[in-house]
Chain A
Amino acid sequence: MATLTKPNIKVKRQVISEEEATSEVAATTKQNVHKKTVYDTKDLNLWYGDTHALKDINLSIYEKEVTAIIGPSGCGKSTYLKTLNRMVELVPSVKTSGVITYKDKSILDKSFKVEDLRTKVGMVFQKPNPFPKSIYENIAYGPKIHGIRNKKILDEIVEKSLRGASIWDEVKDRLKENAYGLSGGQQQRICIARCLAIEPDVILMDEPTSALDPKSTLRVEELIQELKKDYSIVIVTHNMQQAARISDRTAFFLNGEVVEYDETDKIFTNPSDNRTEDYISGRFG
């Protein structure tokens, strides 16, 4: 428990300059102008073939906050999330327009290397998807592909990441075992640990608890609260209670548009749009 109160003094390179405040999108809340943004989305449109999946999205993601994205299925919330690390490009025939800046760098430019982006932005998926390798190899995968081969450093990274995902105690004696021997909830935390191993700035989570039982869900939610201190987190969820429990801000998506984006308390207690109210009170979706 000694580390409990230790201040977080993790050193990170801060790329963001003073001007970032001005780069904020006007449409979003004004109350927190002193907070730094990691992502600024301007007039983003996205098409799958002829389907217009995202329409004029303007949204800022703030540093070291949990931003929840809610909305009925097919509203574009996962698509938006996958645009933030350009995973959406794995689907052929995707077209985008508009600008997303990540720390002042325009990431939708073809010249921007997706690998660099994804090194800074981790992702946790809907279904736990550890690699069919040992627990150790799962965590060491990221550092290894990025050229870190020193065994001692890797050992440290593995331990630190597993601790960071609060699963170290459960797996420390079985690091060489296949990750598929773990329960679904443990697998998902392994996936989070795998993310942490390259110390990203942002973690994108695509309905990370939808395949888990309530108990495992709770553990992951606690973990997200914990990770918020060091990481900016964007979480897509279909579970409104979850959004209310864990997020600082919530964006409500409907039919590819952002209906409302505000502090979570406001969205859930006093939404300004009728459609938001209808959705959170369970009238559709």
Chain B
Amino acid sequence: MALDNKIDNQDKPSIQDMIAKKKNGKNLTSITEKVIPVLLFLIAAVSIFTTIGIVYTLLIETIEFFKRVPVMDFFTGTALKPLSQNPEFGVLPLINGTIISSIIAMLVAGPIGIMTAVFLSEYASERVRRTLKPMLEILAGIPTIVYGFFAFTFVTPLIREVFPSVEATNILSPGLVMGVMIIPMIASLSEDAMTSVPNAMREGALALGATKLEVTFRVVIPAALSGIIASFVLGISRAIGETMIVTIASGSSKNFTFDITQSMQTMTAYIVEVSGGEAPAGSTIYFSLYAVAMTLFVFTLLMNLLARYVSRKFREEY
């Protein structure tokens, strides 16, 4: 029966003949084959140029800055008075503000993030998981400017309601809100680490009569520890680099203090303040922008490298 479908093509040139004829004018194809890889390589190189661009611009101006302000003064100075008659450029107040806001954020995001991860990976049914996860992702998709608005117009007044001594701009409120912002990141990365722990390990413990809780703390979390630590490090890196929330809600006080009810400035907020203030190019303030940005860049880069190192080095071989 397959036979009757057969058709022939007596009077027509064969397809191979047509192809052979087309081949003659096909230099274009072979040129394309040679040009495309080169083109794609150049495009891929853009990402390298971006890195070079970042490092180069930061470095050049930072060097210029350190010609005017001694390196030691910058890194050990606790006074930051860029606009005063005798300007001082100590970066410690900014580093202090950055670290304190990150600690507050991590105190919120760390525990809640990991508990969320435990619930989603160990307790929640597949259906609950599939409802909750996308909702948490919404949290991660809210622009930071919106969180900034929320911290400034809602969380701060709320805190001041309870503790009237808290200033209108303070580091506590943006720290807390930043924590909420980072929860989804830690939750999702930790959950990935936990779900990749093989079920056989859980079943081994469950079969001995362990409760889910015990399995979680004695089996799953230790096995997933490197992933969890990596998620924390990335969370810290995110908090260090966060700009709009702290800029809006923490004000621009450059005091070197540990009082979280007061205004503090982070490195990122300083960059916003100085660049928004139309610092004249060539002034020391202008160059201080780059020195601070360089410090910030190095901080976050180290954190990211650390996170990758941790998750690679301590990856358990199941």
Tell me, yes or no, whether A and B come into direct contact in the complex with CB atoms closer than 8 A.
yes
Seen from chain A, the residues whose Cβ lies within 8 Å of a Cβ on chain B are 1-4, 6, 8-13, 116, 119-120, 143, 146-148, 153, 157, 159-160, 163-164, 166, 168-169, 197-200, 219, 222-223, 226
A52 to B10, CA, bound (A): 47
Bound form: Cα–Cα A200–B23 in Å: 16
B36 at interface by CB-CB < 8 Å: no
Across-interface contacts of B2 in A (CB, < 8 A): 166, 219, 222-223, 226
Is B86 close to A, CB under 8 A? no
8 contacts between A and B (CB under 8 A): A3-B6, A4-B4, A147-B26, A160-B7, A163-B7, A164-B5, A169-B5, A199-B16
B-chain residues with CB within 8 Å of residue A2 when the two chains form the complex = 4
A198:B5 contact, CB within 8 angstroms: no
A150 to chain B, nearest CB (A): 9
Alpha-carbon distance A164/B22, docked complex (angstroms): 24
* B38 sits at the interface (CB 8 A): no
With A10-B14, A12-B14, A222-B2 known as contacts, the answer to whether A146 contacts B7 (CB < 8 A) is: no
Q: Chain A nearest CB: distance from B34 CB in Å?
A: 13
Given contacts A199-B14, A226-B2, contact A146 B19 (CB under 8 A): yes
Answer whether A160 and B22 are a contact pair too, CB < 8 Å, given A3-B4, A12-B14, A223-B2.
no
- Known contacts: A147-B22, A148-B22. The answer to whether A198 contacts B16 by CB under 8 A is yes
* Docked CA distance A10–B16 (Å): 12
Knowing A12-B16, A13-B17 touch, does A146 contact B22 (C-beta < 8 A)?
yes
How far does the alpha carbon of A219 sit from the alpha carbon of B5 in the complex, in Å?
14
The interface residues of chain B lying within 8 Å CB-to-CB of A164 are 5-7
B interface residues, Cβ below 8 angstroms from A:
1-10, 14-19, 22-23, 25-26
What's the dominant secondary structure at chain A's contact region?
helix
Q: Give the CA-CA distance A3 to B16 in the complex, in Å.
A: 23
- Nearest CB in chain A: distance from B150 CB, A: 44
Tell me, in angstroms, the Cα distance from A136 to B25 when the chains sit together: 26
B14 touches A6 (CB 8 A): no
Cross-chain contact B19 with A6 (CB below 8 angstroms): no
Chain B neighbourhood of A153, CB < 8 A:
18
A226:B3 contact, CB within 8 angstroms: yes
- Chain B residues whose CB sits within 8 angstroms of the CB of A168 once the complex forms: 5
Q: How many contacting A-B pairs (Cβ < 8 A)?
A: 76
A148-B15 in contact given A8-B8, A163-B6 (Cβ < 8 Å): yes
**B26: which A residues are within 8 A, CB to CB?**
147
Chain B minimum-CB-distance residue to A167: B5
CA distance A166 to B14 in the complex (A): 20
Report the 9 A-B pairs with minimum CB-CB distance, sorted nearest first.
A147-B22, A166-B2, A163-B5, A146-B19, A199-B15, A166-B5, A1-B4, A4-B3, A226-B2
Would B22 and A157 count as touching, CB distance under 8 A? no
Distance in Å: Cβ of B175 to nearest Cβ of chain A = 49
Cα distance A260–B22 in the bound complex, in angstroms: 42
Inside 8 A of A160's CB, which chain B residues have their CB? 7, 9
**A226 contacts across to B, CB distance below 8 A:** 2-3, 6
B3 A3 Cβ-Cβ under 8 A: yes
With a 10 A CB-CB cut-off, give which of B5, B8, B15, B25 has the most chain A CB atoms.
B15
Q: With both chains docked as a complex, state the minimum distance between the C-beta of A205 and any C-beta of chain B, in angstroms.
A: 16
B6 to chain A, nearest CB (A): 5
Q: Which residues of B contact A222 (CB under 8 A)?
A: 2
Task: Give A145's nearest chain B residue, CB to CB.
Answer: B29
> Across the interface, which residues of B come within 8 angstroms of A3, CB to CB?
3-4, 6-8
Whether the Cβ atoms of A198 and B3 lie closer than 8 Å is no
Q: State A131–B229 Cα separation when bound (angstroms).
A: 43
Least CB separation from B3: chain A residue: A4
Choose among A116, A147, A163, A199 the residue with the greatest number of B CB atoms under 10 Å from its CB.
Answer: A147
Q: Kindly report which residue of chain B lies nearest to residue A113, judged by CB atoms.
A: B30
Q: How far is the CB of B21 from chain A (nearest CB, A)?
A: 9
Inter-chain contact B5/A147, CB cutoff 8 Å: no
Residue of B nearest to A2 (CB): B4
In the bound complex, how far is the Cα of B17 from the Cα of A157, in angstroms?
13
* Docked-complex contact B7 and A147, CB < 8 angstroms: no
Q: In the complex, A166→B19 CA distance in Å?
A: 24
Residues of chain B within 8 A of A4, CB atoms compared? 3-4, 6
Residue of A at shortest CB range from B12? A156
Residue of B nearest to A226 (CB): B2
Give Cα distance in the complex from A116 to B6, angstroms: 27
Q: For the complex, give the distance between the alpha carbons of A222 and B16 in Å.
A: 25
Q: Pick from A4, A11, A143, A226 the residue with the most CB of B within 10 Å.
A: A11
Contact residues in A for B25 (Cβ distance below 8 Å): 147
Contact residues in B for A159 (Cβ distance below 8 Å): 7
A229 to chain B, nearest CB (A): 9
Residue contact A198 to B8, C-beta cutoff 8 Å = no
A116 closest partner in B (C-beta): B23
* Cβ contacts under 8 Å, A147 to chain B: 19, 22-23, 25-26
A147 to B26, CA, bound (A): 8
- Give the nearest-CB partner of A166 in chain B: B2
